[in-house]
Amino acid sequence: MALQFIYSHEDFLTDVQRSNDKTTKTSAPFDAVIQDGWTERMEKGLFRYKLNDLQTHILPGNYGYVAQLNIQRGIERRKPQEILSIQQEFNHKQFNFNKINPDEIICEMTKCENSRDGLNDTTTRKMIVLVNVSPLEFGHCLFVPDPLQCYPQVLTKFAIEIGIESVFLSSDPGFRVGFNSLGGFASVNHLHLHGYYLDHELALESISIETLLPEKHFHRLINYHAGFVFYTEVKSIDKVAENICRVTDFLVNHNIAHNVFLTRGCPPHNDKLSEMENSSRKGVRIFVWPRKSCFGAKEESALNVALCELAGHLPFKNKMDFEKATEEGVTEIINKYLLPKDEFVTLEQHLIEHLSKS
């Protein structure tokens, strides 16, 4: 039986700061469960390869891209499923997370809510956390909602809520969560999110964003890869998760692939922050990138453009591309997968109208 990780609203951490002082870092109970469980399974040999310290460097430039060399993931990872549509139905015959080795499961997450009579009551919805056997980084795990329900790879409000709550449960500003849609380099058509630790600051944590609909917590990225941003603190998780899913549902219904990335971040701003404001990570930024669909397309030799690449974390497949990488060259690759400017502007107007209706 899987370890039970039960949490409540009181376990959320709202005073996390971005600091270079690693001696002060303490692990929250959530981090201990994920990191200890992940390390134990790595030592047991359940992974496709041993993840040692990855060779890492920051590319010079405005975006502070974090480049890492991860050759074995490119070689050893499971072959992606054939994806033909963003709305492709779940196929029981293909690999799915009900077919994994049960030892890969780290825990089962359940949120404890306060019922009307004042007693604690656990929800019946389950989130299974299992190791990704072809890890990108330390602690790389998968969040799979109610796996026996066999949901296809389309975001649900419950999935995004747990994704946001997981970030709030972590005391580490380097814990990230993400989602790839079908056509956006998702390799398994069974609803899941990725979670992992990256001990390097990303520009997205504090980059300027422009507000589009303040009442919907809906913003646009400025001077970065064209995409949308939601920001939430603990009190607005439910409302923000609902609005995020209204956007991703719209994208699915219009056959637009997308990638989603969640990280601790500063509140929305479009000007320079004070040092204290710049280090604050009391909220979560959620990025949604609409993009061109990739169905059976030839993969890039250097890297695939999915959730972490769009966020500025670049796992390179080979040493040559890793060593010669430049911000300009990486940005050129990424731009090939994003929507043309005119399509993005039109989509933005449609989403503003769509979100404004409720």
**Residues belonging to the active site:** 192
**79: which residues sit within 8 A by CB, 6+ positions away?**
none
d(C-alpha 122, C-alpha 284), whole Å: 25
d(C-alpha 292, C-alpha 300), whole Å: 14
Number of Cβ within 10 Å of residue 74's Cβ equals: 17
d(C-alpha 256, C-alpha 298), whole Å: 19
CA-to-CA dists, residue 115 to 112, 121, 123, 207, angstroms: 9, 6, 10, 39
Query: What is the signed CA dihedral for 268, 310, 137, 92, rounded to 10 degrees?
Result: 110
State phi, psi for 301 to the nearest 5 degrees: -75, -30
Cα angle value 126/118/30 (rounded, 5°): 40
Q: Do 295 and 30 meet the contact criterion of CB atoms below 8 Å apart?
A: no
Q: Do 121 and 112 meet the contact criterion of CB atoms below 8 Å apart?
A: yes
CA-to-CA dists, residue 180 to 51, 205, 257, 297, angstroms: 22, 20, 8, 16
Cα-to-chain-centroid distance, residue 288:
10
d(C-alpha 283, C-alpha 261), whole Å: 14
Q: Do 230 and 286 meet the contact criterion of CB atoms below 8 Å apart?
A: yes
Residues in the chain: 358
